[in-house]
Amino acid sequence: MPDQLLFAMEVTLNGLMAGVLYSLVALGFVLIFKASGIFNYAQGVMALFAALTLVGIQDGQVPFAHLINAIFGTNVHHFGWHVPAVFAIILTLGVMVLFAIIVERYILKHLVNQEPIILFMATIGLAYFMEGFGDLMWGSDIKKLDIGLPQGLNETLESVTYGWWGYGFFIDNLDIAATIVAAILVITLTLFSQYSKTGRALRAVADDHQAALSVGISLRFIWVIVWSIAGFVALVAGVMWGAKSGVQFSLSLIALKALPVLMLGGFTSIPGAIVGGLIIGVGEKLFEFSIGPMIGGATENWFAYMLALLFLVFRPQGLFGDKIIERV
Amino acid sequence: MSLDSLDITESYTTPDGRTIGGVVMEMKNITLRFGGVVAIKDISFDIREGEIRAIIGPNGAGKSSMLNVINGFYHPQEGEIWFHGKKRAPMKPYQVAHQGIARTFQNIALFNGMTTLDNIMTGRMTHVKSNMLMQAIWKGPAEREENEHREVVEKIIDFLEIQAIRKTPVGRLPYGLQKRVELGRALAAEPKLLLLDEPMAGMNVEEKEDMSRFILDVNDEFGTTIALIEHDMGVVMDISDRVVVMDYGRKIGDGTPDEIRNNQEVIDAYLGVAHD
Ligand SMILES: Nc1ncnc2c1ncn2[C@@H]1O[C@H](COP(=O)(O)OP(=O)(O)OP(=O)(O)O)[C@@H](O)[C@H]1O
Ligand SMILES: [Mg+2]
């Protein structure tokens, strides 16, 4: 096989793996949007917050250490223990569920039947609050996240592909792990929403609030569920991204990667989020590889948005979105 | 025959031989206001076990508002609701659903993205026992339960003669069939009290006949108590045991179809005679 083609294959593979992660972040948005009509601006910060919490718990950090020390004149920073990754993940999940309950109890409950723009503003407020709260709780320094995921070049894949074609693929183990975890999560979420009773309730709420209430579904319960799932998704995304580039503020910007995915896939479609993520992942890598060198590179920053914009012009409802027909 | 003297626990037999039991739901002096609009003005009436109770009245009389009060969408400023001999605290619609009250809507409210089957399955929500965690960890009991629900739902589908559209997304169905699916979803809850807001609105004669038959059969076969709003006088007089007449938020008549037919105030309201 010609080198160019092999290289393109490698790029596509890398793109697919990045894409699964985009899909995952986009799914977090879609779930909340479907169930409550809220575009959750805080999704990215949730990923940051979840990753911060995970690292904090794992390293035995004292939460709110700065605050405690400032008030009581103490000098505590660490408990001096180390929590195994599995427990730390479970505890972090607990924190995210607690977070969902608090959001429902103190924000959403008071905003039922408000205009979408008001709800959107509320999530902007929530995002900034969480960002500050995360800093206060765990400190603002860059943290290293290590939960024992495999890292570095996958040598098996390299030698196998070398053996076949005389060209070794360079694929990072972490990317493979992230892809597998994200794929499992995406599949589980899809199955959950399609086949479980709570999933059916979730779809019912997404479809018609009034009718859902009339068959005995509690909206507040569904909101807690949905925000918990979004928190779960945020944690997974935060872990994968954090393991790559450290846990720091920029992690919250992965939300920006999900935006073009949503434009492409539609805000209400789960398959749309999945396929959209993959298209963007592969698209931006292939574009960088083929056209990038001609126009000075660094196309990955804007390509996704351009693709999404083009898409919007021709299919405003997204890949699988419902066609919007105005009732008159 | 007048039922006015009947005690709230007493039962009686209808001319067509069905037994109507004591009072299951009693609305006492209900007043509902929206800002300056008084949608319901000091209305009292009761619903007896096993009966078909109609609510009629001109547009804007407050009929739908009354169903919304019963089902917890609206909360009246004044008055009490008694259900099964107990005063009901203000409730959310989903809690009312869990008490065994199901309903359909004047403007069909189906889950358009779902199939007929899935729509009717959501009607089982109040009967779902095994929780999420259970379903995730131990599939056995959850699966058995799912099968039980499926059985009930399939019976309803057969009963309503909608086998052919089981897998069709309801958004694509014609209006008449959508109304039928919505009835199916309400029936899936195996309700003690079924509320129907204009189940025959917008239907042709044939569809109306089918719907009347379904309503009568539900009442007859399962003994379901039914409260329904309907504009078609012929249908109302045909199928209901007792009728409440509303006009501008007030109750202007209450009794058997015969009594209502001969009630001067009702005749005036329907003939458009000027009000005081
Ligand atoms: N949510 C609401 N907010 C404000 N006003 C309302 C609301 N719901 C009902 N109303 C008002 O209450 C009055 C009664 O309305 P309702 O829908 O109960 O009438 P109806 O008897 O069902 O009429 P129709 O036969 O047209 O369905 C109307 O004046 C209506 O505008
Ligand atoms: Mg009405």
- pLDDT value at residue A325: 55
- pLDDT value at residue A323: 58
Query: Is residue B198 in some structural domain?
Result: yes
Contact A260, A306 (CB under 8 A): no
Handedness of CA B190, A204, A185, A83 (dihedral sign): negative
- pLDDT value at residue B137: 56
Interval between CA B107 and ligand 2 midpoint (Å): 9
**Residue B36 CB burial class (10 angstroms; 0-12, 13-18, ≥19):** exposed
Residues B238 and B256 in one domain: yes
Cβ separation A211–B113 shorter than 8 A: no
Cβ separation A208–B135 shorter than 8 A: no
Confidence of residue B17 (pLDDT cuts 50, 70, 90): confident
Query: Is residue A143 in some structural domain?
Result: yes
**Range with lowest mean pLDDT among A49-63, A234-248, B56-70, B181-195:** A234-248
Ligand that lies nearest to the alpha carbon of residue B70, given by its number in the listed order:
1
Query: Is residue B235 in some structural domain?
Result: yes
Contact B166, B180 (CB under 8 A): no
Residues B94 and B222 in one domain: yes
Residues B76 and B122 in one domain: no
Query: Is residue B205 in some structural domain?
Result: yes
Query: Is residue B108 in some structural domain?
Result: no
CATH code of the domain in which B13 resides: 3.40.50.300
Residues B119 and B136 in one domain: yes
Q: How many domains does chain B have?
A: 2
B135 in contact with A at a CB cutoff of 8 Å?
A: yes
Query: Is residue B106 in some structural domain?
Result: no
User: Looking at the predicted structure, is the pLDDT value of residue B272 above 70?
Assistant: no
Tell me the two tokens of residue B273.
Answer: 């005679």
User: ipTM of this predicted complex?
Assistant: 0.88
CA distance B121 to chain A (A): 9
Query: Is residue A328 in some structural domain?
Result: no
Measured between beta carbons, the chain B residues lying within 8 angstroms of A217 are 94, 122, 125
Average confidence score pLDDT of chain A:
87
% of chain B at pLDDT higher than 70: 93
Strand (E) or helix (H) holding A169? none
Residue in A324, A308, A299, A298 with CA at minimum distance from that of residue A259? A308
B102 in contact with A at a CB cutoff of 8 Å?
A: yes
B144 in contact with A at a CB cutoff of 8 Å?
A: no
Residues B73 and B203 in one domain: yes
Domain holding B162, by residue range, is 113-188
Domain holding A55, by residue range, is 3-314
Q: What is the pTM of this model?
A: 0.83
Reduced DSSP (H G I as helix, E B as strand, rest coil) percent helix, strand, coil of chain A, to 5: 75, 0, 25
Q: Which of B138, B154, B188 delimits the end of a domain?
A: B188
Residues B183 and B211 in one domain: no
A165 vs B173 pLDDT, higher one: B173
Most confident range, picked from A306-310, A315-319, B214-218 = B214-218
Residues B4 and B94 in one domain: yes
- pLDDT value at residue A195: 77
Q: How many domains does chain A have?
A: 1
- B25 beta partners: B47, B83
Residues B143 and B172 in one domain: yes
Tell me the two tokens of residue B238.
Answer: 């045909």
Measured between beta carbons, the chain A residues lying within 8 angstroms of B189 are 215-216
pLDDT tens-digit readout, A173-193: 888 888 898 889 888 888 888
CATH code of the domain in which A118 resides: 1.10.3470
User: Looking at the predicted structure, is the pLDDT value of residue A96 above 90?
Assistant: yes
Query: Is residue B55 in some structural domain?
Result: yes
pLDDT tens-digit readout, B38-74: 999 999 999 999 999 999 999 999 999 999 999 999 9
Measured between beta carbons, the chain A residues lying within 8 angstroms of B118 are 200, 203
DSSP-based three-state secondary structure for B14: coil
Going by alpha carbons, the residue nearest to atom 13 of ligand 1 is B39
Confidence of residue B161 (pLDDT cuts 50, 70, 90): very high
Give residue B249's region: left, alpha or beta (phi > 0; psi -120 to 50).
Answer: left
Residues B6 and B89 in one domain: yes
CA distance A228 to chain B (A): 13
Residue A195 sits at φ, ψ, to 5 deg, of -115, -20
Place of tokens 């979840």: A50
Query: Is residue B52 in some structural domain?
Result: yes
% of chain A at pLDDT higher than 70: 97
For ligand 1, mutation pick of B37, B236, B250 (most atoms within 8 Å of CB): B37
**Residue B59 CB burial class (10 angstroms; 0-12, 13-18, ≥19):** exposed
Query: Is residue A323 in some structural domain?
Result: no
User: Looking at the predicted structure, is the pLDDT value of residue A288 above 50?
Assistant: yes
Residue A277 sits at φ, ψ, to 5 deg, of -60, -45
Average confidence score pLDDT of chain B:
90
CB nearest A215 (choices: B73, B122, B130): B122
Most confident range, picked from A159-163, A187-191, A247-251, B165-169 = B165-169
CA distance B136 to chain A (A): 9
Residues B78 and B167 in one domain: no
Across B187-194, average pLDDT: 97
Residue in B178, B227, B72, B112 with CA at minimum distance from that of residue A218? B72
CB nearest B114 (choices: A197, A207, A322): A207
- pLDDT value at residue B145: 80
Q: Which of B188, B214, B236 delimits the end of a domain?
A: B188
Contact A34, A206 (CB under 8 A): yes
Neighbours of B161 (CB within 10 A): 11
**Range with lowest mean pLDDT among A99-108, A153-162, A316-325:** A316-325
- pLDDT value at residue B275: 46
A301 in contact with B at a CB cutoff of 8 Å?
A: no
